[in-house]
C-alpha cells in the first residue's frame, strides 16, 4: 500500500487513538480485567495490579509475577527472571517496528519513544497500519495508539481488581484469552500477506513447547522455535519463487 501524504502530528496521533478505542480496546480490556481480578484473588493490592500492568505490560509476564508474588522475598528473583524471559519476545518485535517509526529530518532516537508501548496488540495494529501512513506521521500514530492502549490496560486491571468477587475462575480464564484471540483473528485476516502463513504454521508446530516446559521458559522457547521455523519456511518459499 503506498504511503499517503504526511498528516500533521496531532491528526496522526488522533487517528491512532481512534483506532485503539475500537476492537483493540475491547480485547485488551477483557484480558486486563481478568488479570486485575487474579491479582486480588492472590491477596495483592490494586497498586500492585497497576504496577504490573503498566510496568510489565505483557500478560504472560504479568501472570508469572502473580504466580511468584505470594512467595514473599524468596519469590522476587524467580518472578523478575521469569517475567524478563517471557517478555523477551518483545525485543524482535521492537526491532521490526523501529525502522518504520523513523522519519527524515528526525533523530532516530525519537523512535525509542514508542518502545514502552510495544506489546502484542499495538505491534500488530502498527504493522498493519503504518505502511499506509507517511513516515513523519507514523511515530505520532503509534504513540497515540500505544498510550491509549496502555491507559486502557491499567484502567481495566483496576476495574478487575474492584469486581474480582463477581468473576468466577472459568470467566477469568476465558477473558484472559480475549486478546490472544483478537491477535489470532488479525493474523487470519492477513493470510494472503507474505510470511503470515509460515508464521502461523511455525507457531502451531511449536505451541506444544509452551505446555511441556516450565511456565517461565515455555513461551520463550515456543516463540524461538516457531519463529525460526517460520523464517526457514519463508526463505524456502522465496528461493522457490
* Cα 13 from Cα 189, distance rounded (Å): 25
Taking only the tens place, the pLDDT of each residue in 211-228 is 888 766 777 788 788 888
* Cα 108 from Cα 91, distance rounded (Å): 17
Task: Give Cβ neighbours of residue 230 (< 8 Å, ≥ 6 apart).
Answer: 195, 198, 199, 201, 202, 203
* Cα 66 from Cα 64, distance rounded (Å): 5
What is the residue whose three cell numbers read 511456565? 215
Question: What is the DSSP secondary structure assignment for residue 1, as one 8-state letter?
Answer: -
Q: Which of 137-141, 173-177, 198-202 has the lowest mean pLDDT?
A: 198-202
* Cα 10 from Cα 37, distance rounded (Å): 36
Among candidate residues 196, 192, 227, 223, the one with its CA nearest the CA of residue 210: 223
Among candidate residues 167, 142, 113, the one with its CA nearest the CA of residue 24: 142
**pTM for the whole thing?**
0.78
Model confidence at 163, in pLDDT bands (50, 70, 90)? very high
Taking only the tens place, the pLDDT of each residue in 59-106 is 878 887 787 776 665 666 777 777 777 777 788 888 889 899 988 888
**pLDDT exceeds cutoff 50 at 22:** yes
Range list of H helices, 42-89: 46-55, 59-69, 76-86
Spell out the domain ranges in the chain: 9-179, 190-241
Amino acid at each position: 500500500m503506498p504511503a499517503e501524504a504526511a498528516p500533521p502530528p496531532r491528526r496522526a496521533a488522533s487517528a491512532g487513538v481512534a483506532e485503539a478505542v475500537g476492537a483493540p480496546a475491547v480485547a485488551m480490556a477483557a484480558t486486563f480485567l481478568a488479570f486485575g481480578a487474579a491479582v486480588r484473588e492472590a491477596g495483592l493490592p490494586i497498586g500492585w495490579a497497576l504496577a504490573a500492568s503498566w510496568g510489565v505490560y505483557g500478560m504472560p509476564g504479568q501472570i508469572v509475577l502473580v504466580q511468584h508474588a505470594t512467595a514473599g522475598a524468596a519469590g522476587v528473583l524467580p518472578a523478575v527472571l521469569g517475567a524478563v524471559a517471557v517478555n523477551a519476545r518483545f525485543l524482535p518485535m521492537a526491532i521490526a517496528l523501529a525502522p518504520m517509526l523513523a522519519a527524515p529530518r528526525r533523530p532516530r532516537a525519537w523512535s525509542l519513544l514508542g518502545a514502552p508501548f510495544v506489546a502484542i496488540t499495538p505491534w500488530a495494529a502498527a504493522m498493519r497500519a503504518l505502511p499506509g501512513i507517511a513516515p513523519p506521521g507514523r511515530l505520532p500514530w503509534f504513540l497515540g495508539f500505544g498510550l491509549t492502549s496502555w491507559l486502557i490496560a491499567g484502567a481495566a486491571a483496576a476495574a478487575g481488581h474492584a469486581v474480582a468477587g463477581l468473576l468466577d475462575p472459568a470467566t477469568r480464564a476465558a477473558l484472559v484469552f480475549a486478546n490472544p484471540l483478537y491477535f489470532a483473528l488479525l493474523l487470519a485476516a492477513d493470510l494472503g500477506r507474505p510470511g503470515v502463513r509460515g508464521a502461523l504454521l511455525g507457531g502451531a508446530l511449536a505451541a506444544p513447547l509452551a505446555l511441556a516446559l516450565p511456565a517461565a521458559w515455555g513461551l520463550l522457547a515456543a516463540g524461538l522455535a516457531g519463529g525460526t521455523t517460520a523464517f526457514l519456511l519463508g526463505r524456502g518459499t522465496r528461493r522457490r519463487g
